Amino acid sequence: MSVSETVEVTGHLIDSGILSRILDDIREYEGDYVIDRFDVGHDAADTSRATITVSADDDPALQRLLMRLQTRGVNQVDPGEAMLALADMDGVFPDGFYSTTNLETKVRIGSTWIDVGNPEMDCGLVVEYSGSGEVVRVMTLPMSDVRIGMHVVCGASGVRVKSPVLEKAPGSFGFMESEVSSEKPQGVLVRSVADGMREAKAAGKKVLWVGGPGVVHTGAAPAMVAMVDAGFVDVLFAGNALATHDIESALYGTSLGVDLALGRGVEHGHEHHIRALNTIRKVGSIAAAVEQGVLTGGIMHAMVTHEKAFVLVGSVRDDGPLPDVYTDVIEGQRAMRAQLQDVGYCLMVATMLHSVATGNILPASIPLVCVDINPATVTKLADRGSSHARGIVTDVGLFLEQLAGELVPDYRRA
């Protein structure tokens, strides 16, 4: 005997291709379906609505299927109330826990729908109660932060998500129709990014940047400094490399030993990055280097001078690293999450791993643009769950120069 549940989904189901992906998911999870009703939008701007009965061999299989379908914005017609279980081990969710998406989420506790304030994929949902037994909040929580006795949502009951409306199907026929292309008119793309940043700032939101060392290697650090000075960089996520090579550039005029003005290596230049690290470690921190006049220019100097937040998380490749770098990646994740409050726009530049990591902790409601010379960086980000990410394939240095010119009218590269 099988078990079943009736679900519904609304959106541009045909144009976006979402309905076919929903049906593929059902079959991939060894379930079955019957389309009970399908109301097709009449005009191009109209959304469609489908009601589907899905079935699986048993309830655990059905719950896994329902959770998978929610990544597509599919909800139960009668979701009921959330089922809770107590965590009985630190760092371990109860069996059958609800695996979260990055979509806007609500959880029904009793008769009340409660907004989840920090949607994030690949986490669990934890309900916090006051001493009098009232619900304080429902939040997403990463596995590493689970503690014994926490109330964890299990199964898909009592959970609803809201998916951003997709306008069209990827791969539909037409010239220049791909989401990732190096042949789009770059001026239009740059203005679009600049407009998104301005809109975020006008709404009182922060602009988050995620950067890799290519920002410095391509000679674009002055452009980024101009944007920090103009207030368009509120938070920076990066690794040890961007900060180290930015500081190397400020101290020695090189990046990985290459003279950024002449474009060629200099004598003993291979030592510069390690000497830059040693200089900062000697004074204790990047901020201390700025305060003591040791560091007088560059991106990190601008971030400190304007009291902007930055989170540097390291890897096994790092030299040094800088004293500001989180070498415990779980602590680094927590530090990154702590800076997401009020972020309204995110620009990712020249970094694959940090882009994917940041995409994994960002709600799908935050506009996200990824810029890289390598198309694989952009597609990998979308493949890891940030399907709303917009990709721009271009030289990062030229892009940032153009963006600075758009955002800072008096910016002129010397």
Per-residue pLDDT tens over the stretch 124-151:
999 999 999 999 999 999 999 999 999 9
Q: CA-based diameter of the chain, in Å?
A: 76
* CB-neighbour burial class of residue 358 (10 A; exposed 0-12, middle 13-18, buried 19+): buried
Copy the structure tokens of residue 287.
């901020």
Residue 118: pLDDT over 60: yes
The secondary element (H helix, E strand) that includes residue 357 is: helix 353-361
Q: Which residue has the higher pLDDT, 13 or 126?
A: 126
Q: What is the mean predicted confidence (pLDDT) over 67-84?
A: 95
The answer to whether 215 and 400 are in contact (CB under 8 A) is yes
What is the rounded CA–CA span in Å between residue 238 and residue 377?
16
Residue 175: pLDDT over 60: no
Cα distances (Å, whole numbers) of residue 124 to 84, 93, 134, 360, 381: 11, 8, 20, 14, 22
Q: Of 210, 200, 225, 234, which is closest to residue 408 (Cα–Cα)?
A: 225
Q: pLDDT class for 173, splitting at 50, 70, 90?
A: very low
For the whole model, what pTM was predicted?
0.88
Q: What is the pLDDT of residue 171?
A: 45
Place of tokens 């690794």: 239
Dump pLDDT digits (tens) for 204-230.
999 999 999 999 999 999 999 999 999
Edge-first strand listing for the sheet containing 124-129: 83-86, 151-154, 124-129, 135-141
Phi/psi region, residue 233 (left: phi>0; alpha: psi -120 to 50; beta: rest), is beta
